[in-house]
Structure 1
Amino acid sequence: MRNYLKVTGWTPVSGGDVAELWSLPGPADEVVLVPMKAGAPDFGKRTQILLADLARVEARDLTAVHDAVATVFNDVTDLRASHPSMSDGSIPLEAGYELFISAKRLRVASAAATIRRQGHFRNFPTRAREQAREVRLGQTRRGSYIVPIISQARSPEDVYSPRQEHIEVGVEETLFDRRVTATMSRALGILEDMAGAEREPTPSEITDSIGEGVSYELCTALSKVVNTDSVRSLDVSFNWSRVAAPPPGTPPRVEFNRAAIDIVDRVSAQLKTRVYTSRHLIYGIVTDLSRHPEDETGRVGVQTLIKRRSRTVWMDLLDSDYHVAVQCHDAGVPVRVQGVLTNPPGGQATMQVDDFGPDPSLPASQAE
């Protein structure tokens, strides 16, 4: 509650262990009381009064304010299936089943692409399959038929400090959820752009889309919903946590109707039949830097999670990438590295790097 008040412009003016008073600058001079003792007999009553006050000030429905407070530390991805026949807020059983199953498919496919860029995942990485057990589904809502996917987010100030010496497993686990949501948003945005273009995507454009997280499995998840008889379109809205700004370059909303799905199906068919070399992605912090003045490359160690265990991956970077590594190390900015990963049991993990830079899943202020 206190974090929600903070990000919506309120400031504490007085209080102690039992309660705090917060004010909202403005002509109305609004003041609310925040109960601090969860075990107090009147805690529930005082909380309801506080939510009612916020609903009045924000001119919003009480349920909407409650949900916004409850998910202040979460990213919420809304999947909305629509058709004229859904005016009563219900949905046919078959369409509802496909919507829920596609929520899982979209999430797992995006998690797989967050770990490895690949056009067709015949077998998902274990970490990707685990996403379906870790994210949550919120209560369905009216508005045609909306299914919310709730995942963790983390405030930028809770990430890493300059010259951080090691990663924190808890931080990385939370950041993985945010990275998956960012991958999903960018990949669906690319598919929407290709579906809305005046011409069909070229084979090279489809190949390039893999680098943004598009895969056969992601395309199939979309098609399964929109191709049911009772669904006319599917739109996906990304409601990013109020305590962690949206990742740069991510669309807030995408939509796919029957015509768009025709293009998605063609992209899907090409991704399924073609053979692509997969590229691994690792995320972490730069912990080791070594370079002699006369060397063309510098040796860099990036500490990351591999199979949920901390590992240092070593790589040789050319001048420009090495300077980026130095800057990220000095600022405590997490990095994302793409390339061919070699991780022998009991041996040193290394990577041949294709792309190196700040983690684009984090807000621009953290990734610059």
Structure 2
Amino acid sequence: MTSNIPNPYFLEEHQMLREQVRRFVEKEIVPNGDEWEREGHVPRALMRKMGELGFLGLTHDTDYGGSGLDVRAATVLAEELGRSTFAGVTITALVHTNMASPHLALAGNAEQKQKYLPDIIQGKTITAVCVTEPAAGSDVAGIRTRAVRDGDDWIINGSKIFITNGVYGDLYIVAAKTDPNAKGSRGISMFLVEKGTSGFSVGRSLKKHGWRSSDTAELFFDNVRIPAGNLLGEENKGFYAVMKNFQHERIMLAAMGVGEAQKALDLTIENVKQRQAFGGALFDKDVVRLKLAQAQTQVDAARNYLYYVSWLDAQGVECIKEVSGLKAWACEVANQVMYECVQLHGGMGFMEESIIERMYRDARVLTIGGGATEVMYGEVAKRL
């Protein structure tokens, strides 16, 4: 039950967007999500519909068909998609809108943006960001994929893993080391690689504990030759682009977690009001009401922190400490709330036919992806 108390960080246009996304979720995602879970991917038709409604271009420039809004609009989208209970669908969309395509929007030249952004915003071209490797997850500096200049081309060799939209994507934003002598985070560049490029292949579609309706891939680059013009942004400055984009990625994951946690609580409250035990409804037991009250307070706190941090970012304030703390706190809260919701569902909470069982599985990766909790608190600690 989302609070009706007005918040000072969002505008009327954000509330209108929230209502529009919520209607879309109920009509297009909730009735079909189970089928997409079984199939292991989200259909292109859904992304096209989201594009037609303007959901895929909320923060992109109006020159290319976007809405030109700030991160608060994306926060609304992420939170409401999170309420769908299908986190795989949510992450499919959010990787496209706020984790992959922003690299192009922020660092791309006019020619690159004109070529790709209109179709990205319309949902005709699906994007993926390829940073993670077996030895380079939260530690981006550990990237081993290499790109070597060869005349008017670049040649890429290496591999990536855990890439969302990796199987069914069309345009891949790839991080690779371009200066072999550079230490640590230096010497990384970003590249645009289209599906179908010779030498670029999907190794396998990965089976996951949760987020099952999102496709996740292992990718291989075997002498992948791309034009020099596919360099995205400045050579050897890719690490800074990744770090900058992580800010919005982490806000999106936090928003997603808040939406999921609130929906799980709503479902659990409804469940315990109906379940009869020990001569009455479970909801009437003090211990149950206490657990629900504690969980709701945690979610309310996470939501208000989310809105505050989104507002800070929208004002152009440097807020790495706040974003890092938000990502860690909100995603841990989502997991804690899911744990209690499963507990209060009893045996049914352990059954795969239960919505809450799927949500519990899906929430687990929130504390890992986009920067593990430990890494996030490390970023906070650096700035104490």
TM, length-normalised to structure 2? 0.23
Task: Specify which structure has the higher proportion of strand.
Answer: 1
Which has the greater radius of gyration? 1
TM, length-normalised to structure 1? 0.24
